[in-house]
Amino acid sequence: MDGSEKTAKKEATVKTDAPAKTKKTAKVKAVKEVKPKKEKAPKEPQVVFAFRLTEAQRDQIHKAAGPGKATKFVRSAALAAASGDRPAFEELLATAKANLK
């Protein structure tokens, strides 16, 4: 075996591998259309207003507000009381009484 035989074998394997690779078909994915993003209306900056409660007080608020509505209940009650909106406050009281039954 001389050096020319080795290179001939290597070239032969390279040549046989090349056609196999070209037979494979590549899958082409469909390109999705890019939708322009909708502009959102600017929101008013918000701040955090927190206060401390005992566990019993927190549980009482959750029972009065109903499932998943405690934050909205407390916010509405505080704003109704602060603005003197008696009908809104009384509506919250009626909701709380109904949820506590």
**How many residues are present in the chain?**
101
The predicted pLDDT at position 7 comes to 58
pLDDT tens per residue across span 53-84: 999 999 999 999 998 999 999 999 999 999 99
Burial bucket for residue 95 (CB in 10 Å: 0-12, 13-18, 19+): middle
Report whether pLDDT(29) > 60.
yes
Residue 58 in contact with residue 87, Cβ under 8 Å?
Answer: no
Interacting residues of 72 by C-beta distance below 8 A, sequence separation 6+: 65
Predicted local distance difference test score (pLDDT) of residue 41: 86
Quickly count: other Cβ atoms within 10 Å of residue 77's Cβ.
19
Name the residue ranges covered by the structural domains of the chain. Answer: 61-101
pTM: 0.56
